[in-house]
Each structure stands twice: as structure tokens, then as C-alpha cells.
Structure 1
Amino acid sequence: MAETIQTYWPYLLATLAVVLAVGWFLFLSNRKTSVVTDRRDVLDEGAAPAQRNQALIDAPRSAADPATAELPKSQPATSGDDLTRIKGLGPRIATMLNEMGVARFADIARWDDAEIDRIDAQLGKFQGRIRRDAWVEQAKFLSQGDESGFVAKFGQNG
């Protein structure tokens, strides 16, 4: 075996070099290449605006859209119920509600779905809490003075 290697070492070395070259070529040819297109982006200089976005920009705002509906300007409530007794309604949200004119449990207990959507749209990062924490149901118990029903359903505060 050693004599064979000594006799054919130049051929073995050339074969090894060819195998390495073919392997390297296959490795490079299988690499993913980036796709280059000739399409212009809407952000390129001189490009036309995207038509689908332009239609949204030009469309008039809907008055029925609760996210764009303005709350009526009212005087901030100065006295009322302690809204923080409602679970999920902390001091920051209570202040926001007071600025919107909501100061009593009875105000919250009267909310319907449209009113919930309108108020919820104004709560910023607190959106979704009205339904998730059942504020309307809690407010109904508290506005009626039903402490035992409130505690039975929602637990003790604090």
C-alpha cells in the first residue's frame, strides 16, 4: 500500500485538488443570491405615490368611526364616586375618566356598546380594559349599593 502511494502520489494530489475545486464550485453555486429587480420603490426620488395609499389619504373621515369621534368637551368632574373601587380601573384611568366627565358608578353602569367603544378609543394604552375587566357590570353593583353582590362576584377590594 505504501509503495502504491509513493508511486501515484502526484495523481492522488491532483485528484484531491480537483475534488476540492469541484466542491468549492458546488458550494458557491448553491448559495442564495439576492434578487435584483428593476421596479422603483415609492420612496425613490421621482417615483409616483402608491395609489392604494393615496386613496386612503384622500378619503373623508367617517363620523361613525369611534376612533375619530371627538368626546364632547365637558367640565372635569370634581366630585363623585371613588372609581378606583372598580377592579382594573386605577388612579390614572380614573383621572382620564374624570376629565371626560365620568365621575360616578351610575355613569359607567349606563354605558352601551357604542359608548364603551367611544370611551375605550380615548384610553390609549389602557384600551380593552372596559370589557376585559367588566367595568359596566361592576359599576352596576356599586351604583346600586350592592356591596355583598359585588364582593360575591368580583371579590374584596385591595
Structure 2
Amino acid sequence: MQEFFMDYGLWLLIALLVIIGIVFLLSGRNRPSEPVVPVEAKKAAAPVAAPPVAAPPVAPVEPVVSEPAAVAPVEPVAPAPQPIPVSPAVTTLSSGADDLLKLKGVGPKLNMLLIELGVTRYAQIAGWSDSDIAAIDAKLGNFKGRPVRDQWIDQAKYLAAGDLAGFEAKYGKI
């Protein structure tokens, strides 16, 4: 028997730890934090309201006069970030938003972030200047550097012009 434990003891210990871990993980799941009580039982167990009791008479209270408290100076509130200015070419387009997911390097999370920043059209991106790119890039968080690295402006110029063949020749199939 002693030879068995010496030969397989480490494997038995590992197996025991794995079984304990599995039991621990499974025992914590599917356990509601609060017992489920049917609605009918809740209605039946609801306490009955007691009749209102008249309040005892209250003697009049003299007002307390206190000195005015010192008012802390109000700090100015930073203005809300403004969306990227829209170029005049964009105002002539229809008011519908473009599918920014067609841009290579833009996924669902980045698409939502761009929409929150007010970027919804290819023409907006195509009209970005270096300062616009810097302003947007500063707000992209984990996606910082993507507009330049993925060449969004060039891609957006193709898509804004409707040149899908040129886009696909340079950047691949949409």
C-alpha cells in the first residue's frame, strides 16, 4: 500500500485538488441570492395596515436664528467636449449616417465611440485636418493611433465619393 502512494501520490493529490475545484465552482452557480416566492404568497403574507393614530398636540416652537454660513467659492465647470466640426460638404449630404464599419480597422466598439464623438459620415472623416485627427485621437482611449495607422482619411475619401472599386483595389474587399 505504501508503494502505491509513493508511486501515485502526486497524481492522487492533483486529482483531489481538481475535484475540489470543480465542486467549488459548481456549488456557487445556479443558486439564487434570494429565495423565489410566488406572487400569491407575497400578497397573502403582506402586512395589514394599522388604522391611523392621531398625533399628540405639539407646542409651538420658537424659530432659531442663526448666522449665515460661509459660502464656498464656486469653481467653474469645464465645458462639455464639442463634436468635430462638420465641413460644408457634409451639410449638403442627406442626414442619414454612413456605415463606419466599412472602414478597415473600425469594429463595433470603435464605431459606437465614433458615433458618441459625433462622427457619423465618411465625408466628415475625409475632411479631417491634422488638428481634427489629434482631437479625435486624444478621445479614442485604447484605440489611440488608429486613424493614422489605418489611413481612415484616405479610406473615407473613397467611400464618400462612392468609389467602391477604388477602395477595394487599395484596401481589399468590403
Q: TM-score, normalised by structure 2?
A: 0.46
Pairwise CA distance, 1:101:
1.1
Percent identity between matched residues is: 47
What letter corresponds to residue 130 of structure 2 in structure 1? D
Partner of 1:152: 169
Partner of 2:97: 80
Partner of 2:112: 95
Query: Among 152, 160, 166, which residue is 1:143 paired with?
Result: 160
In 2, the alpha carbon distance for the partners of 1:127 and 1:142 equals 22
Pairwise CA distance, 1:79:
4.1
Q: Deviations over 1:8-50 (max 9, x none)?
A: xxxxxxxxxxxxxxxxxxxxxxxxxxxxxxxxxxxxxxxxxxx
Pairwise CA distance, 1:73:
5.6
Q: Which has the larger radius of gyration?
A: 1
- Which stretches of structure 1, 4 residues or longer, exceed 6 Å deviation after superposition? none
Q: Deviations over 1:107-151 (max 9, x none)?
A: 100001100010000000000010000000000000000001000
In 1, the alpha carbon distance for the partners of 2:80 and 2:157 equals 26
Give the RMSD, CA atoms, in angstroms. 2.1
In 2, the alpha carbon distance for the partners of 1:106 and 1:92 equals 21
Pairwise CA distance, 1:71:
2.9
Task: Mark the runs of 5 or more structure 1 residues left unpaired by the alignment.
Answer: 1-68
Q: How many residues align?
A: 86
* Residue aligned with 1:87, SS: coil
Task: Mark the runs of 5 or more structure 2 residues left unpaired by the alignment.
Answer: 1-78, 85-94
* Residue aligned with 2:168, SS: helix
In 1, the alpha carbon distance for the partners of 2:159 and 2:83 equals 26
Partner of 1:111: 128
